[in-house]
Amino acid sequence: MIETTNWAGKRLGLPEVGPGSLAKMGRRSLALIIDWALALMVSGAFFGGDNTATLSFFMLEQWLLVATLGNSFGHLITAIKVRKLDGTHVGLVASLVRIGLILLVIPAVIWDADNRGLHDKSAATVLVRR
């Protein structure tokens, strides 16, 4: 009898560990903290710490950098990347859907068995290790 091991990302064709494997919660959380801290610093430096400016900078950073480069500053530092499930470039529309749902919070905290939030499922994206 052959025992089959299951891991988050297996159904998506992702390796269990190493480059291309699903990014774990620790890396994802640290990337989010880094990006939010950066948004707070920019907001504090240029807008007196205005909440709307903080949220706007966070949204723009996530939307534009993920759409063009596949990662935000936090993702880059934690060695993770957003990519489409089919391996293509994320693009402006998928990135906008993704960040829009992240800002709503609830879709980002409801995950499936592959540790993908509703924001990633809706945008057909996945966060993987570099």
Q: Is residue 8 part of a domain?
A: no
Question: pLDDT grade, residue 2 (50/70/90)?
Answer: low
Question: pLDDT grade, residue 46 (50/70/90)?
Answer: very high
Q: Is residue 12 part of a domain?
A: no
Q: Is residue 7 part of a domain?
A: no
> Mean pLDDT across the stretch 117-129?
96
Q: Is residue 82 part of a domain?
A: yes
| % residues pLDDT > 90 (the chain) | 90
Q: Which pLDDT score, from 0 to 100, does residue 115 have?
A: 87
Interatomic CA distance for residues 115 and 37, integer angstroms: 24
Q: Is pLDDT above 90 for 24? A: yes
Total number of domains in the chain: 1
- Kindly report whether the global pTM for this prediction surpasses the value 0.95: no
Q: State the DSSP H helix or E strand holding residue 25, giving kind and residue range, or none if neither.
A: helix 25-47
CA atoms within 13 A on the CB side of 32: 14
What is the chain's alpha carbon radius of gyration, rounded to the nearest angstrom?
15
Q: Give me the domain span that covers residue 56.
A: 17-129
Question: pLDDT grade, residue 3 (50/70/90)?
Answer: low
Interatomic CA distance for residues 81 and 72, integer angstroms: 8
Condensed to tens digits (0 to 9), the pLDDT of residues 86-113 reads 989 999 999 999 999 999 999 999 999 8
Higher pLDDT, 67 or 115: 67
Q: Is pLDDT above 90 for 50? A: yes
Q: Is residue 9 part of a domain?
A: no
Q: Is residue 4 part of a domain?
A: no
Q: Is residue 5 part of a domain?
A: no
Q: Is residue 121 part of a domain?
A: yes
What b/e readout covers 13-48, taking b as 16+ CB neighbours within 10 angstroms? ebeeeeebbbbeeebbeebbebbbebbbebbeeeee
